[in-house]
Amino acid sequence: MENAVTTRLGADLLLDSLYQAGARICFANPGTTELGLVSALARDGRIRCVLSLFEGVCTGAADGYARVSGEVPLTLLHLGPGFANGIANLHNARRAGSRIVNLIGDHATWHLAYDAPLTSDIRSLAAPVSRAVITIDRPQAIDACVAQAFAATNLEEGGAATLVIPTDVVDAPAPDAVQPVLPAPYRPTSVSEAIVDDAARALSKAGESIVLLGGNALTERGIRAGQAICTHLGARLLMEPYPAIVTLGGDLPVVERQAYFPDDVIAQMGAARVVLAGARMPISYFGYEGWPSQLVPDERLVRLAEPGEDAVAALEALAARLKAAPAAARSTETPGGSGHSEAALTPASVVEEVLVQLPQDAIISLEGSTLGGPWLRNAHRARRHRVMTNTGGAIGQGLPCAVGAALAAPEARIVSLQSDGSAQYTLQSLWTMAREGLKVTIIVAANHRYAILQTELTRAAVPLDDAVVASLTKLDKPRVDWVALAQGYGVEARRVATNGELAAALEHGLALDGPLLIQAELP
Amino acid sequence: MENAVTTRLGADLLLDSLYQAGARICFANPGTTELGLVSALARDGRIRCVLSLFEGVCTGAADGYARVSGEVPLTLLHLGPGFANGIANLHNARRAGSRIVNLIGDHATWHLAYDAPLTSDIRSLAAPVSRAVITIDRPQAIDACVAQAFAATNLEEGGAATLVIPTDVVDAPAPDAVQPVLPAPYRPTSVSEAIVDDAARALSKAGESIVLLGGNALTERGIRAGQAICTHLGARLLMEPYPAIVTLGGDLPVVERQAYFPDDVIAQMGAARVVLAGARMPISYFGYEGWPSQLVPDERLVRLAEPGEDAVAALEALAARLKAAPAAARSTETPGGSGHSEAALTPASVVEEVLVQLPQDAIISLEGSTLGGPWLRNAHRARRHRVMTNTGGAIGQGLPCAVGAALAAPEARIVSLQSDGSAQYTLQSLWTMAREGLKVTIIVAANHRYAILQTELTRAAVPLDDAVVASLTKLDKPRVDWVALAQGYGVEARRVATNGELAAALEHGLALDGPLLIQAELP
């Protein structure tokens, strides 16, 4: 391009530092205070920019990109209110340990005191979802602040760091080149031998055991090591309830998912000791009167690897210590398909059809329990694939995560198994899918209600047919037409009500070089 | 309904306190931790519940409701992440001085320490958009906390207060009835006689004057008093650039709007002294190198009434002090209409057609400068109406504000003049409009770009046709089909490209007993 600016500016130095630190993609929804950065992104040209129509799409896409690639994507968001729209998915990203650097353009430092309309307390808004909030207060600090931000993404279990960049810093002449401060590459913390020894000792005692996998243990190596230990001990292999990303299917063993409600988890865990391998200890998702928060007592917990620690290495070390032989590959299964072609869809029949058609090395973005529950009970019957789930419970994560996954793994097919209620929070994702031609096949589980709330209310003996209760949990007046919404964003779409219709639509979608939305009508 | 609960719970006491304090409507998007409140809302039955599919719709609707009614609506939002989705429009509400009480269901107090997936620092998230964040830590404190929250909405210029209510407080047996602590009714702070005297003295000196109206001065009484002063002095009557709600048209005088860019404001203000009547002093919206933040120097400012003070009474007192005679009513105009029926639409021709058709006492929700600029330059030519604008610059305010206005004034016609870029942030508003059968007629100014960003970039001499710049400012790949989106939410819609098509669609929409969306194709 013609370069309209002849002086090298703070923004150019910032972009250069970000690139050198490893940033290759920026999920953007800029405003006026970000235009200096937009110009610099144009001049620099090395960082791919992906526009979304809503900030929650940017942050959710960054989360999905980070989960799939392990790299550090950028977001570019507008001041406090623009950032605020991205908080929900940054909450999920924090729980996923996704390493992200957020860029927020701020008012010029000399303009802040005037409390202009868009002024707000960015630090207070950003802190709950950031390992660090760093304001770059002068051009000389740019390099060091970028390094500090990348370093902060490695803290604890990983997560986002937020850089606040006033426009006068962006627009100032860049200081003379200084030696760039490159952040240390990310490596999970190692588990000590003593911890492994302790775990081996605990497992040598009589009694049932469960190995509960989480974090980086939910990869092939971690699962194989866990399987070897379980086979050796006669133990059960479980996974945390909401993995950031887990490899499943093919010849990998069945990995049972930790249950949701506290009574179910308590029944599932029985009297077993539970080896925590990258997973948090089992707790109740919400606090229910009469049920404990902590669902396995301390004396039955064996803490092998905390979240953020290298659970794979710890499991392999433990397997070696126990002299557990590598487990045999499981023989792969051939799913039978969704059943009678004319029959009305059920969540189970949707899952059966996906089990049949899911291509090798696909990535599933899973949001909502309607399809999420049955999928994770049956995923071992599909070809080898990866699954991302909603780690933090902030809804509106599934579609954006699919966007990010598709950009991180352009060769993979992305399948989004998505509840209709949660899809509404970030439906603008569809536009970015169309714009970027992403190979995402979405199945919207259209049951036209907040099913999880109805389940909870039923457990609490509240009548669902009360007018007020119904008005706050049913989404049937009017029913949302997802085919129309998708078309509004330039995404091809089909509505299906029977197994046969779904099979045909899915086959069509999985062959498309772009997105397809399937509205699956469910009871 | 059948009452499944025999004991009166904390939630019941809370609802009763809220009702007694004046709450009559609740804009809700509840989750599991709010289900105790949902049950209580059902049992109580006196507070109207309006469901939205996204929290930004709830908070924006509460803002619109508060602006139109002056009453205090509730929102019901789910934990930190759900609240976060509502922050952008609460930022606007704070700038509008809209009095709102947010209810957030929190984890049970005894569950918080376990850092369950949805746990976050709610206080840090809520503080920037709340006059107070109050956690109700025990059932005995419910009454007092509700009174404290309502009192906080009166602080400074008004705004939201946030009540955080753990589920164990909601579910606990209510304490025996105590005398409810009712909040004091809202009244703007009075301006002292000394201040009015000082203003009169300042205006008695030679030189040009401007009376800059804001806050409650933008009502008929305030505008008439301002007009009397201006006529008496030969001064100009202006309004703040982004009023929360302003009465215009009919026989009211022309009120010139403060300009946007600093150079324009400086030219507009000239050498005049500026009487601030409920308005902030003129500052630049953003800080631009080479331009000051403060656009009228202190020595030319006459501070009659601060935002949140009673500017109407101050203006009337000042008019009396100056012995300014009441100004004559302006003779009403008859707009000519949008021009040649076959001609392609322009922002000016859209505005001309709305000027013709806008019914008496309509309320306009204005977001974006494409139609907002020309409307506010011409509004005096329409029938008497009120206009709400985006007070805080957090985009996605127009459609939700229209929802709230329609519920606050069911007899009024609501017209939403809405830019297409900003409409995307809270498009789920359309579903609530369909669900509640709201008489909202939306004109989406479909220019398929972020026009304001292009304007800013052009001022900064950045080429708009650069590939990266275009990819972050043009919304044309693909173009959003607003007719399809509206139909997806059950809202009737039409696409129009000529003056004649717009005139017919608008006539149809203004006669409907429900919403209509008109996608107006603009250059």
Q: Do A87 and B87 touch (CB under 8 A)?
A: yes
So where are chain A's domains? 10-171, 193-322, 347-521
- Contact list in A for residue B128 (CB cut-off 8 A) is 80, 120-121, 124-125
Percent of chain A with pLDDT over 90: 93
Partner residue opposite A111 with nearest CB, options B287, B392, B428: B287
- pLDDT value of residue B5: 47
Within 8 A of B12 by CB-CB distance, chain A residues are none
Residue A4 at interface with chain B, using a CB cutoff of 8 Å: yes
The alpha-carbon gap from A327 to the nearest alpha carbon of chain B, in Å, equals: 33
What CA–CA distance (Å, rounded) separates B259 from B237?
Answer: 13
| CB < 8 Å & 24+ apart, contacts of B290-298 | B291/B262, B291/B263, B292/B262, B293/A110, B293/A111, B293/A113, B293/A114, B293/A116, B294/A114, B295/B262, B295/B265, B295/B266, B295/B269, B296/B269
B110 and A CB contact within 8 Å:
yes
- Report the distance separating Cα A203 and Cα A235, nearest Å: 10
Q: Is the pLDDT of residue A338 over 60?
A: yes
Chain B environment of A107 (Cβ under 8 Å): 286-287
Q: DSSP assignment of A12-65, as one string?
A: HHHHHHHHHHT--EEEEE--GGGHHHHHHHHHH--SEEEE-SSHHHHHHHHHHH
CA distance to B10, B12, B103, B149, per residue, from B168 (Å): 9, 13, 15, 20
SS3 state of residue A9: strand
β-bridge mates for residue A105, sequence order: A78, A165
Instruction: Beginning with the edge strand found earlier in the chain, give each strand of the sheet holding B209-213 in spatial order.
Output: B256-257, B236-239, B209-213, B273-277, B301-305
- The beta-carbon neighbor of A434 closest among B28, B293, B478 is B478
Q: How far apart are CA A505 and CA B119, in angstroms?
A: 39
- Do strands A385-388 and A256-257 pair parallel, antiparallel, or not at all (unpaired)? unpaired
What's the distance, Cα to Cα, between the start and end of chain A in Å?
A: 55
Å from A294 to nearest chain B CA?
8
What class does CATH assign to B347-521?
alpha beta
Check if A193-322 and A347-521 are the same fold.
yes
Compute the nearest-CA separation of B447 from chain A (Å).
15
State whether A41 and B466 contact (CB < 8 Å): no
B394: closest CA among B110, B53, B128, B111?
Answer: B128
- In this predicted structure, what is the pLDDT of residue A1? 40
Higher pLDDT, B253 or A338: B253
- Encode burial over B188-208: b for 16+ CB neighbours within 10 A, e otherwise: beebeeebbeebbebbeeeee
Which chain A residue shows the shortest CA-CA distance from B484? A488
Angle between helices B398-408 and B429-436 (to 10 degrees): 20
First to last CA, chain B: 55
Task: Please give the Cα distance from B135 to B122 (Å, whole number).
Answer: 10
pLDDT grade, residue A182 (50/70/90)? confident
What is the CA A517 to chain-centroid distance, rounded? 20
Q: Please state at what angle helix A369-378 crosses helix A347-357, rounded to 10 degrees.
A: 50
Contacts of A128 in chain B (CB under 8 A): 80, 120-121, 124-125
B55 by Cβ neighbours in 10 Å (0-12 / 13-18 / 19+) ranks as buried
E runs forming strands in B200-334:
209-213, 236-239, 246-248, 256-257, 273-277, 301-305
Q: Between residues 28 and 57 of chain B, which touch chain A (CB distance below 8 Å)?
A: 28, 30-33, 35, 38-39, 41-42, 45, 49, 51, 53-54, 56
| Cross-chain residue pair B80–A95, CB shorter than 8 Å | no
Domain at A10-171, CATH from 3.40.50.12780, 3.90.70.10, 1.10.10.10, 3.40.50.970 = 3.40.50.970
Q: Give residue A205's pLDDT.
A: 94
Q: What tokens appear for A402 in the block? A: 């699919």
B234 to chain A, any CB pair closer than 8 A? The answer is no
Q: What is the mean pLDDT of residues A444-470?
A: 95
pLDDT reported for residue A180:
67
> Closest Cα of chain A to B91: distance in Å?
7
pLDDT at A85 over 90: yes
CATH number of A193-322: 3.40.50.1220
- Tally Cβ neighbours within 10 Å of residue B359: 14
List CB contacts (< 8 A) between B287 and chain A.
107-108, 110-111, 116, 167-168
d(CA A181, CA B358): 61
Q: How far is the alpha carbon of A328 from chain B, nearest alpha carbon, in Å?
A: 35
E strands, A393-523, where?
Answer: 414-419, 440-446, 492-496, 516-521
Q: What is the pLDDT of residues A154-166, one digit of tens each?
A: 998 899 999 999 9
Specify whether the CB–CB gap between B478 and A490 falls below 8 A: yes
Please report, rounded to a whole number, the percentage of residues in chain A having pLDDT higher than 70. 98
Is the confidence at residue A6, as pLDDT, over 80?
no
- B110: distance to nearest CA of chain A, Å? 8
Given a cut of 80, whether residue A181 has pLDDT beyond it is: no
What is the full per-residue pLDDT of chain B (523 aa) written as tens digits? Answer: 444 446 899 999 999 999 999 999 999 999 999 999 999 999 999 999 999 999 999 999 999 999 999 999 999 999 999 999 999 999 999 999 999 999 999 999 999 999 999 999 999 999 999 999 999 999 999 999 999 999 999 998 999 999 999 999 999 999 876 666 677 778 899 999 999 999 999 999 999 999 999 999 999 999 999 999 999 999 999 999 999 999 999 999 999 999 999 999 999 999 999 999 999 999 999 999 999 999 999 999 999 999 999 999 999 999 999 999 998 888 887 777 777 999 999 999 999 999 999 999 999 999 999 999 999 999 999 999 999 999 999 999 999 999 999 999 999 999 999 999 999 999 999 999 999 999 999 999 999 999 999 999 999 999 999 999 999 999 999 999 999 999 999 999 999 999 999 999 999 999 999 999 999 999 9
Question: What distance in Å separates the CA atoms of residue B223 and residue B248, rounded to the nearest whole number?
Answer: 9
Of A23-32, A33-42, B328-337, B366-375, which gets the smallest average pLDDT? B328-337
Answer whether B67's CB lies under 8 Å from B245's CB: yes
Give one word for B381, left, alpha or beta, with left for phi > 0 and alpha for psi -120 to 50.
alpha
Check A128 against B111: CB less than 8 A apart: no
In terms of Cβ atoms closer than 10 Å to its own Cβ (0-12, 13-18, 19+), residue A271 is exposed
